[in-house]
Amino acid sequence: LISKTSIYLASKVKTKMAAEVLNGKKIASETRAALAAEVEALQRRHEGFTPGLAIVQVGSREDSNVYIRMKTKAAQEVGIFVRHLQLSRKTSQDELIERLSELNEDQSVHAILLQLPLDCEGDIDSDLCTNVISVMKDVDGLTDVNAGRLARRR
């Protein structure tokens, strides 16, 4: 709750902030270049190492397909190997959990992205499936543990 004292004190504080126009394309380009350099450094230190991202998609929503193409391109530009597992709309919850569990155990996969929303014919609990992903491989930070860490800024 905001008290009258807090409002009064806030009104007395004067700050000067200069507006700055951000160049999103420039920042994105610089970020990709820095990530590519990090991947190259990892590969020099660990011969034969290639970071791997698995993208798991249930169904074939067009908006999801566009997002996956963009993420795949961005990852490949910085030297990350991408494996896209596109599962049928008929995939069951148990089948999805099994695939995610296999990816957790796969040493060539360092990050897992479960594309949401799931485009399936049956009922699949996306929260349950998201939490099957190892917290160490949860690239989106959507498992309960990682979401909590993000909320607490840890």
Identify the pLDDT of residue 1. Answer: 43
Token pair for residue 51?
């970071």
Token pair for residue 10?
């806030």
**Tens digits of per-residue pLDDT, 65-103?**
999 999 999 999 999 999 999 999 999 999 999 999 999
Identify the pLDDT of residue 55. Answer: 98
pTM comes to: 0.82
Q: CB atoms < 10 A from the CB of 128, how many?
A: 11
Instruction: Give the mean pLDDT per block of 10 residues along the chain (154 residues).
Output: 52 67 90 94 94 98 97 96 98 98 98 98 97 97 92 84
Identify the pLDDT of residue 38. Answer: 94
CA nearest to 142, candidates 109, 108, 118? 118
Identify the pLDDT of residue 5. Answer: 54
Identify the pLDDT of residue 17. Answer: 67
Cα–Cα distance for residue pair 115/67, rounded to 1 Å: 9
Catalytically active residues, by annotation: 71
SS3 138: strand
Q: CB atoms < 10 A from the CB of 89, how many?
A: 13
Q: How many residues are recorded in the chain?
A: 154
The amino acid occupying position 120 is: C
Facing residues of 81 across strands?
Answer: 52
Identify the pLDDT of residue 150. Answer: 87
